[in-house]
Structure 1
Amino acid sequence: MPNVSPFHIAIPVHNLDECRTFYREVLECEEGRSSDHWVDFNLFGHQLVIHFKPKKEAAELHHNPVDGHDVPVPHYGVVLPWETFQTFAKQLRSKGIEFIIEPYVRFKGQPGEQATMFFKDPAGNALEFKAFQDMGQLFAK
């Protein structure tokens, strides 16, 4: 099945204004439609919607071991072109992003070799951005 269409994801945030600023100014996503309870963003050509949800007791973030790191579950993000990833990682560093997993190359020399990084938005949602020098490796076993 060809993957030519953008995806849509909606995530809960308990601090709409703070997250709106984060996605617009830190991640530099173009803002689209909005209301008092949600905001659309263009996340590298995909539709991300942040929806207000009142904060409940903080849920413990689960982690799974991957390549010697504790990968947060759940998480979401985008696969970027290699150069875009490198530029984006530098921009995030310059803006003081606190990484859960610093940008690095995972599975080096193996099928699925990829650059990856993890960090959280102000609502605690874990984000992963990754890149492949060879996009043919995206689903390599």
Structure 2
Amino acid sequence: MRETDKIFHLAIPCKDLDETADFYQKLGCKVARRYDDRVTFNFFGDQVVCHLSPEKIDPNPKMYPRHFGITFLDKAAFEETLQSAKKNHLPFFQDKMVRFGGKQEEHWTFFLQDPSNNLLEFKYYHDESMVY
């Protein structure tokens, strides 16, 4: 279970701070700090830091095994994020789909691709017990 007195931290590469800030702000993430070499976001309550390192960008990203994202416990919040991504013309790596259909771990998921080819997954499990 999530401990409310702790915040998860993730550092990822980016090729351009301005386009990175634009993408994450359109996703609804607030800029917490910005320096010449990085920008830090409140990413749905956790901390994502995008470090300027254009030489570290993956030119051919794949969903597995490397991605990060949010698992929603609220179906409406999942749908709201999906609609916001569409409205803001954020690039989809994978449209909304069902994984493990008909099984207890069935969930909806979609993937976005940020300007530096980092892949973000957003998902909602119909059975909350399958989150962990």
- TM-score, normalising length: structure 1: 0.81
Contact 2:58–2:117, Cα closer than 8 Å, also in 1: no
Residues 1:91 and 1:57: Cα distance change in structure 2 (over 3 Å): closer
Residues 1:41 and 1:22: Cα distance change in structure 2 (over 3 Å): same
- Give the match for residue 76 of structure 1: 68
The 4+ residue runs of structure 1 with deviation greater than 2 A are 54-62
- Aligned residue pairs total 129
Q: Distance in 2 between matches of 1:21 and 1:108?
A: 35
Question: Of residues 114, 119, 124 in structure 2, which corresponds to 1:121?
Answer: 114
In structure 2, stretches of 5+ residues that fail to align are none
Contact 1:61–1:73, Cα closer than 8 Å, also in 2: no
Of 101-110 and 6-15, deviating more is 101-110
- TM-score, normalising length: structure 2: 0.86
Matches of residues 27-66 of structure 1 in structure 2 within 5 Å? Answer: 27-55=27-55, 59-62=59-62
Residues 1:96 and 1:32: Cα distance change in structure 2 (over 3 Å): same
CA RMSD of aligned residues (A): 1.8
Residues 1:92 and 1:37: Cα distance change in structure 2 (over 3 Å): same
Residues 1:108 and 1:39: Cα distance change in structure 2 (over 3 Å): same
Q: Distance in 1 between matches of 2:21 and 2:96?
A: 24
* Bigger strand share: 1
Q: Distance in 2 between matches of 1:76 and 1:86?
A: 18
- Give the match for residue 124 of structure 2: 131
- Give the match for residue 103 of structure 1: 96
**Deviation at 1:57?**
7.6
* Greater relative contact order, per chain length (Cα 8 Å cut-off, separation 6+): 2
Contact 2:41–2:48, Cα closer than 8 Å, also in 1: yes
